[in-house]
Amino acid sequence: QEQELSQSKSLLSQMQDSVQEKDGEIEDLKESLKQQKADIEVQEQNLHSQISGLDRQIEDYKNKIVEMTAVLDNTQQTNEVMAAHNESLKQELAQQGVHISELNDIVDNLKTQVESSKVNVQSDNNEEVESLRSSLAEFQQQVEDHRLIINTLEQNVHQQKDLENETEADQKSHTEPSEDVNKKLSSYETMIEELNNEIVYLKDKSQLTEESFISNSEYLKTSLDKISYDKATLEEERNHLKLELDNQLEISKKTQEVVSEKLSQVENLQTAYENLQSNLLTISSEKENLLVLVDSLRGEIEGLERVIAESQFAELTAKDEVSKLKNETQQLTTVVANLEQKLLDVEHNSITHVSELNMSTSESTSENSIEWNNQIVAEKSTVAVEHLQRAVDSPIQETALQKFSAEQSQKLKMAEENLKQVQSEYEKTKSRLKVSEVKCEKMLLKLKTFKDKNDKLQIQVDGFQQKLGLQEGSPKRDGNLREERRRLEEQVTVLNNRLRDVETHNGKLIHDNSTLRGQLKNIEAASRDQVKLQDITAELSRTQSELEVRNVSLNSANILTVELQETIDGMKEELQQKISEVRDLKSELLQQVQSGDFVLNESLVDLQKSVIRKTEEVDELNRKLEEEIESNALLRSEVAQLQLE
């Protein structure tokens, strides 16, 4: 029985230790579950914050994409305007080039004309100057000859006067030769007057020629000045046109450079837009994957919550069982305490009995004291053992202890089974938590990569914004951050729903776009057919107009043929009339010829006589002219003789 008690004590102590260990493990499980709950809540908050941040970034990207598309549309419109302006500039340049070539041709023609006019004017001036110089020289020679003649005549007159003075005495004897001399002198005076008149006439003529020469030279000078001025103005206009052309060429080059830069920027923007679209597609696919993973994580979290709830329920049941076990252990401890109290009472009774024995045997010897004490101790132990055996051997106590131990063993077995189930569920939750941690780590890695891509895209977008000169205000700069955050946190769920609606709407739009493209193709085919029909109708209208024009021309030709036929008929009638008139005239002429032959013969005779008379008169005139020439020759010879004298 002592062994059983010791075993029961050891079992109780072991049970207490195991219960304490289980309590510690349960508390550790509670703490770990609380920590896992806190970690899961933190992860959920982080995931929600990251998802909200991703939604914000997606909204920002969508807004930026809309703005970029607007900017691209504006740039495309500006490029179209620039292309139209460049085409107009090209046309203007071509027209100006043609105009400049025409002006160059005109300038070259004017140059050739100016040079030819210069050459002609110079040659004409030289010829006129030479002719005028030769005429002046001839006039001067004639004037000098006349002056010499006049001087000689004056000398002759003075000599004759002297001779007259000398021959005054001989005048009476020489009256007849003096009269001849006077006649000669008078003739000489008349000749001198005529020569003086000729000299005056020649002087006037020379003055007129000089004046005309001066006026011609002045006119030529003015014309040369005008030509040189026109040449200078034409050269200035040419230089001005060249400068304008150079400026326009520079402007066109600059515009072409600007257009090429704009086109390169547009191409870069298109490539960037395509990259952004591809990145957005990848982001949307990654977002879908993340949403799927989030949904799976939410399902797993819900499963974990269910497991946690089940574990909590099992924990509560275990706690109830532990509390029951604690109550039972307390009952056992009270029973043990009662037993110990009984043992103490027995020991106290034995001690009192021993003390009475000691008092009775105090007179014994000291030799037997040790043996007596040993016997007393042995008796005490035997009394205690007997007392215990009595207490244990009682049937009521044995059945109670057996029932209690059986119940305790069953409860312990149930508790062990529950603990095993809790441990298995705990291990399952641990494995699930590990799997969820791995998935969360993967999600975090994906979110990190997504965040890196987002940062790169943000950097690219900022770079494009800096290139395009876009200055966009972020909501962080524009408003209060707290209100924005609250408003955005409230709108996150709405935006998620909107995103799904937008994705469905995008799918519908893609389907509608495909259908519209098919309709557009059909419309284009129909429009092509319509264009072909329009071309055919235009060609038919052209052919109809040409046929109408030809019909009009045929009608006009028919009218002309009718008119010509009528005119031909009229001409035939007139010819017949003329033929009849000619026949009549011939008959009349024959009659007139027959009647007028005699008259003609008489007129011919008269004409012959008049011709003979005229020839005789011409002969007489020739003779008179010869006589006058001979008289003039004689006069010249006499003048020469007088000059010699």
Residues 71, 468 contacting (CB under 8 angstroms) = yes
Same domain, 348 and 436: yes
Per-residue pLDDT band at 312 (split at 50, 70, 90): low
Identify which has the larger pLDDT, 267 or 433. 267
331 versus 340: which is more confidently predicted? 331
DSSP designation for 474: P
φ, ψ of residue 629 to 5 degrees: the values are -65, -40
Q: Is 469 left (phi over 0), alpha (psi -120 to 50) or beta?
A: left
User: What average pLDDT does this structure show over 260-285?
Assistant: 69
Range of the domain at 409: 325-446
Give me the torsion for CA of 546, 547, 550, 551, rounded to 10°.
-140
Q: What does the pLDDT read at residue 378?
A: 45
Quote the CA–CA distance of 608 and 585 in Å, as a whole number.
Answer: 30
What does the H/E/C string look like for 480-508? CHHHHHHHHHHHHHHHHHHHHHHHHHHHH
Q: Are residues 233 and 116 in the same domain?
A: yes
Residue 366 has pLDDT above 60, yes or no: no
Residues 208 and 113 in one domain: yes
- Are residues 94 and 189 both part of a single domain? yes
Q: Tell me if 81 is assigned to some domain.
A: yes
**DSSP for 538-553, written as a single string:** HHHHHHHHHHHHHHHH
Which of 46-60, 287-301, 425-439, 493-507 is most confident? 46-60
* Residues 227 and 337 both lie in one domain: no
Phi/psi of residue 480, nearest 5 degrees: -70, 130
**40 assigned to some structural domain:** yes
Structure-model confidence comparison of residues 335 and 387, the more confident one: 335
pLDDT of residue 387: 44
Distance CA 289, CA 442 (A): 12
Is the domain of 149 the same as that of 264? yes
Can you tell me the distance from the alpha carbon of 342 to that of 81, in angstroms, rounded to the nearest whole number?
A: 115
Res 373: pLDDT = 47
Answer yes or no: are the C-beta atoms of 347 and 30 closer than 8 Å: no
Report the mean per-residue pLDDT for the chain.
64
Q: In sequence order, which residues have a C-beta less than 8 Å from that of residue 334 and are 6 or more positions away?
A: none
The pTM of the full predicted model, rounded to 2 decimals, is 0.25
pLDDT of residue 195: 66
CB of 384 within 8 A of CB of 349?
Answer: no
Q: Are residues 162 and 258 in the same domain?
A: yes
Question: Are residues 112 and 188 located together in one domain of the fold?
Answer: yes
| Whether residues 272 and 331 fall in one domain | no
* 53 in Cβ contact with 493 (< 8 Å): no
* 628 in a structural domain: no
Q: Tell me, what's the pLDDT at 250?
A: 78
Mean pLDDT of 31-47: 76
Q: Does 108 share its domain with 238?
A: yes
358 located within any domain: yes
Q: What is the CATH number of the domain that holds 216?
A: 1.10.287
Domain count, the chain: 2
In a domain, 604, yes or no: no
> Of 421, 446, 471, which residue is a domain's last?
446
- On the question of pLDDT at 463 being above 60, the answer is yes
Domain termination residue (choose one: 404, 431, 446): 446
Residues 245 and 148 in one domain: yes
Q: Does residue 408 belong to any structural domain of this protein?
A: yes
- Domain boundary (408, 429, 446) is at 446
The answer to whether residue 222 sits within a structural domain is yes
Segment 576-598 shows an average pLDDT of 62
* 253 and 334 part of one domain: no
